[in-house]
Chain A
Amino acid sequence: MNILEVRDLRKYFATQKAVDGISMSIEQGSIFGLLGPNGAGKTTLLRMITGIFYQDSGDIIFNGRKFEPEQDVAQIGYMPEERGLYKKMKIGEQALYLAQLKGLSKSDATAKIKAWFTRLEMDSWWNKKVEDLSKGMSQKLQFVTTVLHEPKLIILDEPFSGLDPVNANLIKDEIFRLAKNGSTIIFSTHRMEQVEEICDHIVLVNKGNKILDGTVSQVKNDFKENVFLIQAQTVAEHLATHLFEVVEHRPDQLLIRLTEGTSSNDVLQYFINKQVMVHGFREKLPSLNEIFIKLVETTPTARQFQNV
């Protein structure tokens, strides 16, 4: 079942068409990556999904019904890129306040907060003020307040920015755990290596339009360039053939691009015939980083102001 469906969503501001007809579906329990360059419209899109903005046109279907912010926000957790908490408020009190605003009862919220704090080793923080925390600590706290009320849909905008590797790993594990327990996670980021690690399905937006939509493996396959990595010791004369062109040649490693019509077996056969000892042979799929740059590079990366 799709927990969220967005149909032809539009939002125009005075100076630009921030979101210009985006449609996508998000399956329940998946970890969904929302990618795009700066100014692509990601934040605006997310703000419409969380009920902060109203769309100019288009539909948002949440859990099979039309999205009603008043009721549905209780099932959504949102951690915006602009991190912030009330600095002068005590931590425990603030977590309680935010949880109650999402509809949890006081006792329920208190119990859940205690459980989360214990698991993430935040027990001693209860009576401290937010301003006493370091940046990484306050991000951990903000993550907790985002997922405390067990929302069905969790939206994280750059959740790892500013986290050291230990804490980043902690959050990553929590994300996997939450997904396994049935929550759906929308994950917006620029860090492509994280996307490859974590996401099932990705959508790439640019200038208010969707330009990519599919699972990670699908996307990589779509963009594959028939490049193969061969661990073998080769010399120049081995490389003169119509079967492939050389991308990079190192004494013990060869990167080749197969020509049209050549199969991987053809290449293997060729090297075997040449008495070359092949230690390793695998397809090198393009990284999402490369795909991202390729797709976005053709258009100017910086947003220009348009007349709407």
Chain B
Amino acid sequence: MKKTILIIQREYLTRIRKKTFIIGTILLPVLYIAMIFGTGYISNKTKQDLKVGLIDQSGYFTQTLVAQANVADTANKLVLINSTESEFSKVYDSLGYNGYIVIPQNINWKGKLETLSLKTNKTYGMGVTAPITSKLNNIWDEVKNDSLGIDMAKQQIMRSSRLKLKLSNEKNKDADSGIATVIGYVCGFLMYLILLLYGSQVMMGVTEEKTNRIAEVMVSSVKPFQLMLGKIVGIGMVALTQFLIWIACIFIIYNIGRVTGNSEGMMADTLGKIQQVFSSVNIYIVAGCFMFYLLAGFFFYSSLYAAIGSAINEDMREAQSLSFPITMLIIFSIFLLGPTIQNPSSPVAVWASIIPFSSPIVMMARIPFGVPNTVPFWQLGLSMALLVAGFIFTTWFAGKIYRTGILMYGKKPSWKEMIKWAFRK
């Protein structure tokens, strides 16, 4: 035990003192925030605004109606064209139009309508037709209203009298599924990032003894299992330190905001929202469970990564190919995040939150939706118990592989061989 603590100390101190620790601590939140906001920003910027020519052979689409539609909806511009299709089709491109639509002469608002084509000279993404269709239909609604003799007042009633629905959890009045969704995503993604990043850190850390060829000397003083455990816990503590630094920073920023913030402005707004979050979701349970799943999930996955690290020989490609199945498991859990948040009580979500491989990520996505409400105590308990049993098993298993792998130089083993080591004396 004492030797394991010595190893943990050494691993921890060696890493904390490196410059890369400070860089990583600052870089990760920046990356994370960039990822969340960046993707939203980019998707906004890539919306396409088309200029579409309208050749109306029916006479229904008047200049006034089209102009009105363009004012009401500034995305995509419809322009009434006064030439024939054969003429326009030759020149629309050079005139700066992205495409054109022909409204046939025999279009009949009383009967069946055939599908119109937006003729273009490029293939556009799937999203372009919807906004243009809705713009056309707005005009078409006007046409129908006029033809049917529905006046403004009646039109108003048609438009505004619509039923709306919102979720109201009778058992947990404070619950807000919107907030829970956000927290679910945040927790799930954070867990995913941390497990992936620190898992690979453990894998690389474990190769240190092999690269430095000190494995044999170490193993003549301590048991291989102690060495492996020391490395995993040491690196885990570095992760914990980073995590606590971030929490401390957030806490400080929050408090500064509270003390210095005005009653207006974005700060107050954000703080208000955060207050709301804290009240609608049991923040202590969420935070507590996050800590548990982080630690347990870390041990579960990092011991597997340690086993891989002990088997490889400085070659990055070996590391990648051997760690592929483990990484796939983590990525698979992220795919389940979406369906879980859409329906936190579905069988998929429930089972994925109980099975140890996916439970750290999936359960953390479910918990903001309410404990014991959406997540009954027995599910939470079972999930936790299985995860603990899981990491005890993977640590034992990894220890057996590590014991052999760390002294083996040269041949790159396959998973099959590594499993054989596990059952050797």
Residues of A bordering B, CB below 8 Å: 47, 50-52, 54, 56, 69-70, 73, 76, 78-80, 82-89, 97-98, 100-102, 142, 145
A307–B3 alpha-carbon span in the complex (Å):
39
Q: In the bound complex, do residue B208 and residue A86 qualify as a contact, i.e. CB atoms below 8 Å apart?
A: yes
Beyond the given A76-B220, A142-B217, A145-B217, please list 4 additional residue pairs across the A-B interface where CB-CB is below 8 A.
Answer: A82-B216, A84-B216, A88-B14, A101-B218
Q: In the bound complex, do residue A101 and residue B212 qualify as a contact, i.e. CB atoms below 8 Å apart?
A: no
Q: In the bound complex, do residue B212 and residue A86 qualify as a contact, i.e. CB atoms below 8 Å apart?
A: yes
Q: In the bound complex, do residue A51 and residue B220 qualify as a contact, i.e. CB atoms below 8 Å apart?
A: yes
Q: In the bound complex, do residue A86 and residue B221 qualify as a contact, i.e. CB atoms below 8 Å apart?
A: no
8 Å CB interface, B397-425 against A: 407, 409, 425
Q: In the bound complex, do residue A80 and residue B216 qualify as a contact, i.e. CB atoms below 8 Å apart?
A: yes
Q: In the bound complex, do residue B425 and residue A84 qualify as a contact, i.e. CB atoms below 8 Å apart?
A: no
Instruction: Please tell me if B215 contacts chain A, counting CB pairs below 8 Å.
Output: yes
Q: In the bound complex, do residue B407 and residue A101 qualify as a contact, i.e. CB atoms below 8 Å apart?
A: no
A54–B224 alpha-carbon span in the complex (Å):
13
Residues of B within 8 A of A82 (CB): 213, 216, 409
Q: In the bound complex, do residue A89 and residue B3 qualify as a contact, i.e. CB atoms below 8 Å apart?
A: no
Residues of A within 8 A of B218 (CB): 101
User: Closest 5 interchain pairs by CB?
Assistant: A84-B213, A84-B214, A78-B220, A80-B216, A101-B221
Q: In the bound complex, do residue A101 and residue B425 qualify as a contact, i.e. CB atoms below 8 Å apart?
A: no
Residues of A within 8 A of B222 (CB): 101
A98–B214 alpha-carbon span in the complex (Å):
11
Give the Cβ gap from A42 to chain B, nearest Cβ, in Å. Answer: 14
A142–B212 alpha-carbon span in the complex (Å):
13
A73–B6 alpha-carbon span in the complex (Å):
16
Give the Cβ gap from A108 to chain B, nearest Cβ, in Å. Answer: 14
Residues of B within 8 A of A76 (CB): 220
- Cβ-neighbour of A98 out of B208, B216, B219, B221 (below 8 A): B221
The interface centre, meaning the residue of A56, A73, A78, A84 with most chain B CB atoms within 10 A of its CB, is A84
Give the Cβ gap from B57 to chain A, nearest Cβ, in Å. Answer: 79
A305–B172 alpha-carbon span in the complex (Å):
71
Give the Cβ gap from A277 to chain B, nearest Cβ, in Å. Answer: 59
A84–B218 alpha-carbon span in the complex (Å):
10
A97–B222 alpha-carbon span in the complex (Å):
12
Residue of B nearest to A51 (CB): B220
- A-B contact count, CB below 8 Å? 54
Instruction: Please tell me if B273 contacts chain A, counting CB pairs below 8 Å.
Output: no
Give the Cβ gap from B419 to chain A, nearest Cβ, in Å. Answer: 14
Q: In the bound complex, do residue B217 and residue A98 qualify as a contact, i.e. CB atoms below 8 Å apart?
A: yes
Give the Cβ gap from B222 to chain A, nearest Cβ, in Å. Answer: 6
The interface centre, meaning the residue of A88, A100, A101, A102 with most chain B CB atoms within 10 A of its CB, is A101
8 Å CB interface, B210-239 against A: 212-223
Q: In the bound complex, do residue A50 and residue B213 qualify as a contact, i.e. CB atoms below 8 Å apart?
A: no
- Cβ-neighbour of B212 out of A54, A70, A85, A145 (below 8 A): A85
Give the Cβ gap from A230 to chain B, nearest Cβ, in Å. Answer: 50
- Cβ-neighbour of B220 out of A52, A88, A89, A97 (below 8 A): A52
Residues of B within 8 A of A102 (CB): 221
8 Å CB interface, B124-161 against A: none
Give 30 CB contacts A-B under 8 Å.
Answer: A52-B216, A54-B425, A69-B223, A73-B221, A78-B217, A78-B220, A79-B217, A80-B216, A80-B217, A80-B220, A82-B213, A82-B216, A82-B409, A83-B213, A84-B212, A84-B213, A84-B214, A84-B215, A84-B216, A84-B217, A86-B212, A97-B10, A98-B221, A100-B6, A101-B6, A101-B218, A101-B222, A102-B221, A142-B217, A145-B217
- Cβ-neighbour of A86 out of B214, B216, B220 (below 8 A): B214
Residue of B nearest to A77 (CB): B220
- Cβ-neighbour of A52 out of B208, B214, B407 (below 8 A): B407
Q: In the bound complex, do residue A85 and residue B214 qualify as a contact, i.e. CB atoms below 8 Å apart?
A: yes
Residues of B within 8 A of A101 (CB): 3, 6-7, 218, 221-222
Give the Cβ gap from B269 to chain A, nearest Cβ, in Å. Answer: 48
Residues of B within 8 A of A86 (CB): 208, 212, 214
A226–B73 alpha-carbon span in the complex (Å):
114
- Given A89-B14, A101-B6, verify A50-B212 contact (CB < 8 Å): no
Residues of A within 8 A of B214 (CB): 84-86
Give the Cβ gap from B308 to chain A, nearest Cβ, in Å. Answer: 21
Give the Cβ gap from B359 to chain A, nearest Cβ, in Å. Answer: 36
Contact with A along B90-103 (1 / 0, CB 8 A): 00000000000000
Residues of A within 8 A of B212 (CB): 84-87
Residues of B within 8 A of A52 (CB): 216, 219-220, 407
A45–B223 alpha-carbon span in the complex (Å):
18
A104–B206 alpha-carbon span in the complex (Å):
25
Residue of A nearest to B219 (CB): A52
Residue of B nearest to A49 (CB): B220
A104–B407 alpha-carbon span in the complex (Å):
25
A103–B322 alpha-carbon span in the complex (Å):
36
Residues of A within 8 A of B6 (CB): 97, 100-101
- Cβ-neighbour of A56 out of B3, B14, B425 (below 8 A): B425
The interface centre, meaning the residue of B7, B208, B220, B409 with most chain A CB atoms within 10 A of its CB, is B220
Give the Cβ gap from A102 to chain B, nearest Cβ, in Å. Answer: 5
A88–B205 alpha-carbon span in the complex (Å):
13
Q: In the bound complex, do residue A50 and residue B425 qualify as a contact, i.e. CB atoms below 8 Å apart?
A: no
The interface centre, meaning the residue of B7, B212, B407 with most chain A CB atoms within 10 A of its CB, is B212
Residues of B within 8 A of A56 (CB): 425
Give the Cβ gap from A15 to chain B, nearest Cβ, in Å. Answer: 11
Residues of A within 8 A of B407 (CB): 52
A86–B10 alpha-carbon span in the complex (Å):
12
Contact with A along B269-305 (1 / 0, CB 8 A): 0000000000000000000000000000000000000
Q: In the bound complex, do residue B220 and residue A73 qualify as a contact, i.e. CB atoms below 8 Å apart?
A: yes
A14–B14 alpha-carbon span in the complex (Å):
38
Give the Cβ gap from B23 to chain A, nearest Cβ, in Å. Answer: 17
A87–B208 alpha-carbon span in the complex (Å):
10
Give the Cβ gap from A157 to chain B, nearest Cβ, in Å. Answer: 9
Residues of B within 8 A of A89 (CB): 14
Residues of A within 8 A of B14 (CB): 88-89
8 Å CB interface, B2-17 against A: 3, 6-7, 10, 14
A78–B215 alpha-carbon span in the complex (Å):
12
Residue of B nearest to A146 (CB): B217
